[in-house]
């Protein structure tokens, strides 16, 4: 870490802030404005999952939870988790854990499937660009994950689970504390033998592709007095993920030995009646060591140090100003030498918001100064109009950008890097409608996103070669229906390459998600139905993958105040489907696009679990 630059960022500049999610404020939203605000006032389209939602839905991974969000599509081609938010690419969505970026600086991917969900308290999904607050990568939106915090008293929890594909899950946690100090300590070990993802009966690819993930979590918060508080957070996931090379010359059973971790600390103070200030320091770490693969052996390790400082000023009862800056530095360690192995970014931002009786406004600007690609400005603006007591219209404009990765810029010459690459940029125009009628919550959004200078292979090296246009509509509804808690989300998108007119690869144009849950005394039951239309697997739209529908069931029994039993069946009808393909011919031309096979998703799976929360 360059301590002189870190000291400058902390000592001289106002910075950015991510306020901790408070368990007692479920109706608040943190990520949209980068500070706590009522969800009803947030200008960004958003979805929030609390700890109660995670347990009710019995979600066992972050991707499994996110597939319920309108506009979110998740898959795992070849065992690598992939996410698309509003038709954008995986690397075009910013992922944070307790405020820390966790995406790899080489691939741009955040491995959400590695995160231990037993250590998660809350997930916030912001749909739409937020680069004016967060900088690079927030083109499609921002996903922020808040880890679990402590509680007063001593509250242990033990969970054991077993299921299909030789799945075994164990977790142990302790939430404890007083009125001033609270701590949460958790550890888990998840193992599964998995299934054969390629199913091509070729050589070593006949084996199952499993995963082993052990996780450790620590969160500590202390309230010094009414005005000052501090805390720290530690999250560490490590293990191995097996996959198939999907190439004829694969030597054996390849696997990734991974580690994803983040550490952060904060000091928060109320300096006056109208001025709050917060300092944060953090470190995130992404390590991937590929073993047993002919074409991908080697180590890729990125470390990110960060500093942030934000000042929030309450100008009046209806006006608020946030002024800040943040700094981070990425460092790379790889088996294969890169032309450069470090870069840093220093940014300033300011955002003003006004909430009046007849209308509201929001205006923000961020300036990023990156060591590699220079300066970049991002704007956002929103106008909200309440209609009566039950409706609200929001018209907004937002800009986004994605910085080139280390691989795009500095990889070995044979890989075709381009140090002159410019960031991908985007402009999004959006109209939202929110309403509540007869205890039915309704939301809808109509948007258009234009992406310029998309980074792609230009024939001899990486280039800013293409442009994309994404038109979209999404809607959600939630209410109690005949005693059932019902929620529905639907998304319709038209994502196109503006140069060729082709639909962007691996994006379904229509998705639908429905969940129904009900409690019968100590028993509860639920079901979910997730539907996706067909998608193209190639840029040229020459290969189409059929649509699919997956039906899930779940049930739980609180047999004792300290004992809860759970059972769930995913993909009850055992639907066989693939969301990506690979080339694996019998002939000499192994890149022949007519020779392809599917990376299959999981079939029917069962999981049984018991959770013990003894009273001490």
Distance CA 468, CA 411 (A): 26
- Which are the contacts of 328, defined by CB distance < 8 A and separation ≥ 6? 101, 304, 305, 306, 307, 344, 345
Q: How far apart are CA 446 and CA 285, in angstroms?
A: 37
Q: How many domains does the chain have?
A: 1
Other C-beta atoms lying within 10 Å of the C-beta of residue 481: 11
Tokens of 384: 């909200």
pTM (global) more than 0.75? yes
Q: In 60-163, which residue ranges form alpha helices assigned H by DSSP?
A: 62-66, 131-134
Token pair recorded at residue 532: 């996706």
Q: What is the pLDDT of residue 196?
A: 79
Domain of 285, CATH number, reads 2.40.170.20
What tokens does 154 get? 């001593």
Other CB atoms within 10 Å distance of the CB of residue 152 = 12
Q: How far is the C-alpha of 325 from the C-alpha of 321, rounded, in Å?
A: 14
Splitting the chain (616 residues) into consecutive groups of 10 residues, what average pLDDT does each group show? Answer: 38 35 61 89 94 95 94 78 89 93 89 93 95 93 95 96 95 96 97 82 70 95 96 95 64 80 95 95 91 71 94 94 95 87 94 94 96 90 94 96 90 86 94 93 97 84 89 96 93 93 92 96 96 90 90 97 97 90 53 58 94 93
CA–CA gap between residue 563 and residue 566 (Å, rounded):
10
pLDDT reported for residue 24: 41
Given CA atoms 241, 244, 245, 250 in this order, what sign does their dihedral have? positive
Write out the DSSP string of 587-613: SS-TT-TTSEEEEEPP-SEEEEEEEE-
Integer Cα distance of 499 and 112 in angstroms? 32
- Report pLDDT for 535: 92
Question: CA-to-CA distance for 452 and 426, rounded, in angstroms?
Answer: 6
Candidates 138, 105, 110, 111; CA nearest to 406 is 105
Taking the C-alpha atoms of residue 591 and residue 589, their distance in angstroms, rounded to an integer, is: 6
Which runs of E-coded beta strand occur in 206-296?
Answer: 209-223, 228-242, 255-270, 275-291
- Cα→Cα distances 220→23, 229, 234, 301, Å: 15, 11, 9, 28
Query: What distance in Å separates the CA atoms of residue 248 and residue 274, rounded to the nearest whole number?
Result: 66
CA distance to 91, 323, 326, 470, per residue, from 16 (Å): 22, 8, 5, 30
Range of the domain at 394: 3-612
**Bridging pattern class, strands 82-85 and 578-583:** unpaired
Is 76 within 8 Å of 506 (Cβ atoms)? no
Residue 588 to residue 593: CA distance in whole angstroms? 13
Q: Give the per-residue pLDDT at 210.
A: 85
Give the 3-state secondary structure of residue 104. Answer: coil
pLDDT of residue 337: 82
Other C-beta atoms lying within 10 Å of the C-beta of residue 35: 23
């Amino acid at each position: 870490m360059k301590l002189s630059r870190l000291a400058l960022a902390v000592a001289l500049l106002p910075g950015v802030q991510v306020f901790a999610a408070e368990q007692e404020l479920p109706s608040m939203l943190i990520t949209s404005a980068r500070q706590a605000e009522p969800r009803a006032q947030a200008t960004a389209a958003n979805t929030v999952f609390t700890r109660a939602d995670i347990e009710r839905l019995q979600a066992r991974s972050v991707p499994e939870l996110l597939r319920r969000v309108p506009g979110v599509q998740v898959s795992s081609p070849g065992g690598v988790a992939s996410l698309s938010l509003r038709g954008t690419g995986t690397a075009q969505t910013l992922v944070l854990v307790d405020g820390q970026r966790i995406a790899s600086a080489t691939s741009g991917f955040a491995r959400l499937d590695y995160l231990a969900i037993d250590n998660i308290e809350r997930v916030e999904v912001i749909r739409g660009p937020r680069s004016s607050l967060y900088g690079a990568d927030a083109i499609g939106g921002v996903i922020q994950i808040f880890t679990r915090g402590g509680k007063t008293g001593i509250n242990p929890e033990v969970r054991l689970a077993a299921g299909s594909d030789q799945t075994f899950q164990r977790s142990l946690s302790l939430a404890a504390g007083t009125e001033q100090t609270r701590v949460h300590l958790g550890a888990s070990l998840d193992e599964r033998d998995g299934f054969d993802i390629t199913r091509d009966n070729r050589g070593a690819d006949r084996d199952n592709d499993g995963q082993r993930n052990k996780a450790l979590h620590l969160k500590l918060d202390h309230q010094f007095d009414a005005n000052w508080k501090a805390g720290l957070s530690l999250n560490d996931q490590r293990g191995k993920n097996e996959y198939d090379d999907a190439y004829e010359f694969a030597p054996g059973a390849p696997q990734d030995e991974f580690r994803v971790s983040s550490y952060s600390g904060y000091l928060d103070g109320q300096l006056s009646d109208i001025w709050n200030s917060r300092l944060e320091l953090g470190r995130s770490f992404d390590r991937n060591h590929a073993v047993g693969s002919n074409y991908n052996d080697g180590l890729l390790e990125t470390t990110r140090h960060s500093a942030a400082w934000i000042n929030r000023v309450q100008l009046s009862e209806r006006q608020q100003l946030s002024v800040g800056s943040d700094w981070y530095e990425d460092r790379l360690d790889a088996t294969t030498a890169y032309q450069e192995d470090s870069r840093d970014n220093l940014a300033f931002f300011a955002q003003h918001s006004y909430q009046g009786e007849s209308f509201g406004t929001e205006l923000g600007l961020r300036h990023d100064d990156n060591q590699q690609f220079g300066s970049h400005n991002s704007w956002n603006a929103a106008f909200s109009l309440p209609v009566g007591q039950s409706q609200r219209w929001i018209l907004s404009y937002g800009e986004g950008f994605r910085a080139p990765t280390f691989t795009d810029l500095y990889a070995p010459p044979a890989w075709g890097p381009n140090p002159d690459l410019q960031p991908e940029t985007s402009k999004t125009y959006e109209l939202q409608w929110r309403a509540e009628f007869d205890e039915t919550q309704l939301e809808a959004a109509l948007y258009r996103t234009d992406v310029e200078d998309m980074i792609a292979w230009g024939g001899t090296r990486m280039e800013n070669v293409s442009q994309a246009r994404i038109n979209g509509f999404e809607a959600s509804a939630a209410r109690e229906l005949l005693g059932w808690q019902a929620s529905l989300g639907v998304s319709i998108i038209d994502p196109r390459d503006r140069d060729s007119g082709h639909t962007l690869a691996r994006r379904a144009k229509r998705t639908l998600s429905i969940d129904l849950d009900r409690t019968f005394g100590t028993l509860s039951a639920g079901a979910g139905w997730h539907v996706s239309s067909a998608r193209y697997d190639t840029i040229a739209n020459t290969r189409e993958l059929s649509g699919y529908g997956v039906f899930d069931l779940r049930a739980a029994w609180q047999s004792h105040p300290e004992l809860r039993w759970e059972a769930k069946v995913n993909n009850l009808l055992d639907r066989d489907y693939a969301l990506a393909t690979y080339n694996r011919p019998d002939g000499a031309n192994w890149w022949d696009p007519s020779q392809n096979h599917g990376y299959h998703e999981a079939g029917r799976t069962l999981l049984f679990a018991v959770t013990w929360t003894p009273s001490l």
